[in-house]
Amino acid sequence: MDRSSIIFSCILFFALGLFSYNLWKIVRNIRLGKSNNRFDQPLKRTKILLKIAFGQTKLFARPVSGILHALVYWGFLVITIGTVEMMVDGVFSLDRSFGVLGRFYDIATASGDVMAVLVLVSCLMFMFRRLFLKIKRFSGKEMKKSSSLDAIVALVIIVLLMVSLLTMNIGYIGLHHESYFGSFPISNFLLPYFDNWNLHLLHDISWWAHIMLVLIFLNELPYSKHFHVVMSIPNVYFSNIENLGKMENMTSVTKEVKLMMDPNADPYATPPADAPPPEAFGAKDVTDLNWVQLMNAYSCTECGRCTSECPANQTGKLLSPRKIMMDTRQRLKEVGKNIDKHGKNYTDNKSLLNDYISTEEIWACTTCNACTQACPLNIDPLSIIVDLRRNLVMEESAAPQELNMMFNNIENNGAPWQFPAADRLKWKDE
């Protein structure tokens, strides 16, 4: 190994180690959630994964932005092959080590060369939209300046990545003429414009700039909304595959109802002495949610498609499904920092409900499921809203007056209306 390989290896392993450490903390935070059995039907989940995560099909509901985003995503999948090759080359002082793959390498490099241009154009268009077009779903009370800056920084890094990739390819084929590995249609077309350049210097600067930008971007992800680049695949795989937004019955309540309906059940039976204490109903803080819901929070792209489709938000209500996910993520990060600083049993006397999400927000929800249906990653804000409501109703008896009246009517009359069952048909006598 020469000196440059040693320097590169140190930088690479430090960057990968830092990313792994931050990834471990995020996984630790997600595992604070309760269990949720989402390991069933692997074949069906894989089909949905290929269709939604890799196929990007839900994005095409908005064709222009959907196609641009899909091009960026697919471009990164193709270009990742070259990124892995650069890491191998850098560590072992090689040059185009994957060239031994022959025809496959030609296809991969040609695809990467073309996709670099498509990704570059797409990102420039995204930057134009963010800077000069007033897209309504990019705004909202939950959207701070830091979120917009985060998006611009990521786009700039991607633009520089694509430019450095193209110039690196141009330098490579210019230095090797006809004896190079791979196929580079775009770079070959651009090569004549670099006749008077020092191609050796251009290649070396571009190589180092590209790989350093990759490592910088990789370690920026855990602190950014763009972490969905990592989380999108597991999030889609473990999403609800039955009916998006379907409300699941609480196991403890279902068990109680079955006991009530069982004629052979002993109404006076007491639980065994070693039985675990009953769990709280619903959720008040992030640790009351399940791990899939917490993973949803880390997967949110803040694209605003959920909020733009929400009828409550459209009619001026306080609810924003995007804010629900962002608040859940922010609270979960805060809990994680408390664990790092004070230990797992520390409490800061704060909670997701009330301190982050108000009761007005969750009661504005119509449970129509538009947010879950609109999300490109099958994120389910509705499940969090329902669990927060359950806590208010079943733990704190803090339902709105209208709901309390309905509950009383159901208990007394067997129906939500304020008259007994015997009077239900009196309307026909009028």
Task: Compute the distance between CA of residue 327 and CA of residue 31 in angstroms, rounded to an integer.
Answer: 18
Q: Is residue 59 within 8 Å of 69, Cβ to Cβ?
A: yes
User: Does residue 356 have a pLDDT over 70?
Assistant: yes
Domains of the chain: 3-30+62-228 (1.20.950), 251-259+280-413 (1.10.1060)
Q: What is the pLDDT of residue 1?
A: 67
262 or 212: which carries more pLDDT confidence?
212
Average pLDDT on 231-243 reads 92
Q: What is the pLDDT of residue 279?
A: 73
Q: How far apart are the first and last CA of the chain?
A: 96
User: Does residue 158 have a pLDDT over 80?
Assistant: yes
Q: Which residues pair with 290 in a beta bridge?
A: 34
Average pLDDT on 372-378 reads 94
User: Does residue 346 have a pLDDT over 80?
Assistant: yes
pLDDT in tens, 76-96: 999 999 999 999 999 999 999
pLDDT in tens, 176-207: 988 899 999 999 999 999 989 999 999 999 99
Lowest mean pLDDT among 206-210, 404-408, 414-418: 414-418
pLDDT in tens, 93-142: 999 999 999 999 999 999 999 999 999 999 999 999 999 988 888 888 89
Tally Cβ neighbours within 10 Å of residue 144: 11
Q: What is the pLDDT of residue 427?
A: 74
The angle subtended at Cα 32 by Cα 28 and Cα 35, nearest 5°, is: 115
Return the H-helix or E-strand segment holding 427: none
pLDDT in tens, 268-299: 666 666 666 667 889 999 999 999 999 999 99
Q: What is the pLDDT of residue 248?
A: 78
Three-state DSSP at 357 gives: strand
Q: What is the pLDDT of residue 420?
A: 79
Torsion of CA 215, 217, 219, 224, to 10 degrees: -170
User: Does residue 419 have a pLDDT over 90?
Assistant: no
User: DSSP assignment of 95-113, as one string?
Assistant: SSGGGGGTHHHHHHHHHHH
Q: What is the pLDDT of residue 275?
A: 61
Q: Is residue 384 within 8 Å of 293, Cβ to Cβ?
A: yes
Tokens of 54: 């890799």
Place of tokens 């608040």: 327
Lowest mean pLDDT among 2-16, 139-153, 320-334, 370-384: 139-153
Q: What is the pTM of this model?
A: 0.90
Q: What is the pLDDT of residue 360?
A: 95
222 or 262: which carries more pLDDT confidence?
222
pLDDT in tens, 241-259: 887 667 778 877 887 777 7
Q: What is the pLDDT of residue 243?
A: 75
Please state the length of the chain: 430
- The mean predicted confidence, pLDDT, of the chain is 92
Tokens of 209: 């700039």
Q: What is the pLDDT of residue 7?
A: 95
Average pLDDT on 40-67 reads 95
Q: Is residue 163 within 8 Å of 207, Cβ to Cβ?
A: no
User: Does residue 153 have a pLDDT over 70?
Assistant: yes
Torsion of CA 11, 17, 22, 27, to 10 degrees: 150
Q: At what angle do helices 199-220 and 63-92 cross, to 10 degrees?
A: 110
Q: What is the pLDDT of residue 208?
A: 97
